[in-house]
Amino acid sequence: MMVQFNEILRFIQIYIVQLSVGGILFILMAILILKRSTKKLNQIVAMFFISIASSTIVNVTYAPLRISAFVEFLNILAYFLFNWAMVCLLLLNLLILRSTKLINFKIQIAIIVIWTIILIGLFPIGLLDGVRIDETTNWRPVWNLPFLLYGLGTGFFCMAIPTIYYSIKVYNNLEVEKLEKRWRLFIAGMVFYYIIWAGISIVNFVAIEIVRTIWGGILLFSFSAIYILYYGIAKQLQE
């Protein structure tokens, strides 16, 4: 009975919540943002949603597959894309705080390239027993400690901490109440994104079925809550 419930919850989590909210809806958000304007800030916010949507689509794609090595590679790729979105949040904050004159195109590209190179490190670690998905894991991802520490460590220290720091600085510089309110929503949406990222990482390391079930319920809310990030900043960029 519990196995049946877990499978139903997994189906809802992957094909209804992730695909509809994290995939289709996020792509539509990106299109709406770029349709209004293609200026730099809009491009960065759109790329954030596209990166998460791409991660979700990869995750949905490999869910029904039963080729161990291929599924493991796709799981790492999905995690890579989800983590890559972090650089968009950092750049957005830097550009708002410092402007494009100080954070010029070369610096932006350098930050993106460095973060991409760091994330590429997930693949050798993951493919060398860092990620395991086969019949013994019930085709659920199971991560080892080195892969978990690399993913969380690089994400927290290179992206999450600096981004939160700069977000607070941006908020402190705002003087219009309406902008302050929207920026608080942006920060809240960003925090939900980090919760999903950290939660996915820890749950895949712990690899306990009851923990996956509880996390699946939390994810139903958290994934949808990223929408407030769109309301907080992306909608404002369209005005």
Q: In the prediction, which pLDDT does 119 show?
A: 99
Q: In the prediction, which pLDDT does 7 show?
A: 64
**Domain total in the chain:** 1
| CATH code of residue 51 | 1.20.1070.10
Which residues form the domain of 132?
A: 2-237
Q: In the prediction, which pLDDT does 238 show?
A: 55
- Inform me whether the pLDDT recorded for 45 exceeds 70: yes
**pLDDT band at residue 206 using 50, 70 and 90 as cut-offs:** very high
Q: Per-residue pLDDT tens for 152-193?
A: 999 999 999 999 999 999 999 988 888 888 899 999 999 999
Q: In the prediction, which pLDDT does 32 show?
A: 87
Burial pattern 20-53, b for ≥16 Cβ within 10 A else e, equals: ebbbebbbebbebbbeeeeeebbbbbbbbbbbbb
Give mean pLDDT, residues 232-239.
Answer: 65
Average pLDDT score over the chain: 89
- Inform me whether the pLDDT recorded for 52 exceeds 70: yes
Lowest-confidence pick of 87-101, 126-140, 176-190, 223-237: 223-237
Q: Per-residue pLDDT tens for 97-109?
A: 987 678 999 999 9
Q: In the prediction, which pLDDT does 9 show?
A: 63
CB 140 within 8 A of CB 133: yes
Give Cβ neighbours of residue 155 (< 8 Å, ≥ 6 apart): 83, 86, 197, 198
